[in-house]
Amino acid sequence: MSPRPTASGRSARRVAFDVVHAVSTDDAYANLLLPGRLREARLSAADAGFATELTYGTLRRRGFYDAVIERATGRAVDRVDPPVLDVLRLGAHQLLTLGTPPHAAVDESVRLVRQVGSARAAGFVNAALRRVSERDRESWRDELSRGISDPDALLAIRHAHPEWVVRALRAALAAEGREDELDALLAADNAPPRVTLVALPGLADAPDDDRDERTAFSPLGIRAAAGDPAADAGVAAGTRRVQDEGSQLAALALSRVRPARAGERWLDLCAGPGGKAALLAAEARTAGATLTANETVPARAELVRRALAPVDPSLTVRVGDGRSIAHDAAESFDRVLVDAPCTGLGALRRRPEARWRKTVDDVAPLATLQTELLTAALDATAPGGVVAYVTCSPHLAETRDVVDAVLGARDDAVAIDTRAVLAGVTRTPLDLGDRGTAVQLWPHRHASDAMFIQLIERRR
């Protein structure tokens, strides 16, 4: 059941507007901005839940709501003032997904548009949302789908994904012989994820079956209790961290590919904001190894330092382009994580705005960068060492194609059967099919981000 606001729900709507508008106009990230806004507003648990669903739900289905708004008003959304458009999007989500009574959704949206300084648009908002309320979501889907026969275009409307994303996800599933799971994957992208925590080895108590609700696969994962995870004592102390289970498995694939030896040097090449770096550092510390982190953006490097501080505040955080790492440290590291910048198509549950930010034109430049980073990582790895190439995208151009291109261009690196490695790590078996050596996780199958993980050994 969708959360319902209390009588003070107007404050919740304003919080949702502020975050949605910041995402629309300032390229803000909802998952970073919303928690602080909720704390500042001091909302009740019910209103915080309503504000959260209103924010994330509106962002997830933004493209669908924009199409509805255009059809209802006869006006292109780029001709609507941005604050007014965001009020309409929030109103459409209340009407078509949350089941808010039309009089309440319309009246509160009119009140909100006046509150945010667009009083002259009150009549327009009133009329537009009344037209939106004349149909339910299924009827609007049918209306928008009329005359369209392309299956990917129809799925894009039904599940509020850009068509190019639908096509990319179809291709990625087809590579595993599971194209028939596309509808389930797209639906999972629109389902709010459970928050998961990782217990950092040596700092936090290991997850306990009697005390904790454990994750299905990660031996260090815990499903967070409802509410703000920042209230968790371990999270506040930095000994437990909010981290998707897929990210945990990506780090553990590298740290547990083989027993670590004292004195080993590990590197997180693209470390910001520091979640995987903290887990790797904790894993390294238990074996007498050390982690170096690299981050190209100074502000993100500071986040990495904060993440590493509970493990060891003296760990080195290098600020620089990861592609140049081998110039300073050729063949220096025993294990290297390349958590490469990507389209983020695997994290659409948690980053709902991402699907509308990237375009198909972003893929090729990112693939070039990913290829260069993986090449640099291998050059910085000592013979016999291991690189983990990881993306939070299942797009084939960012995953298999990058690995194939890099391995095809050199004779000193070979893919490791990453599936077999994780089979020795996870609490229960992963359903991965039987194609290739990489691991591709999926939201609909593993309840995690769609992480791609390929381990590679640098040959002697």
| Binding site as annotated, residues | 270-276, 295, 321, 339
Catalytic residues: 392
Contacts of 303 (CB under 8 A, 6+ apart): 272, 273, 274
Contacts of 190 (CB under 8 A, 6+ apart): 60, 61, 159, 160, 349
d(CA 333, CA 382): 5
Residues that constitute the known binding site for S-adenosyl-L-methionine: 270-276, 295, 321, 339
On whether the CB atoms of residues 22 and 60 are closer than 8 A, the answer is no
CA distances from 3 to 46, 52, 198, 371 (A): 7, 9, 27, 44
Alpha-carbon torsion angle 403, 408, 409, 413, nearest 10: 70
